[in-house]
Amino acid sequence: MSKNNQKNKKKKSNQNLFSMMHKHKKQVVMGVSLLLIAAMVLSVFAQFAF
Domain residue ranges of the chain, discontinuous segments joined by +: 2-49
pLDDT at 1: 53
Report pTM: 0.46
* Residue stretches of the chain with pLDDT short of 70: 1-2, 4-6, 8, 21, 50
How much is the pLDDT for 49?
Answer: 77
- Exposed e or buried b per residue across 15-45, where buried means at least 16 C-beta atoms within 10 angstroms of its C-beta: eeeeeeeeeeeeeeeeeeeeeeeeeeeeeee
pLDDT of the residue at 5: 67
* Residue 13: closest CA among 5, 2, 25: 5
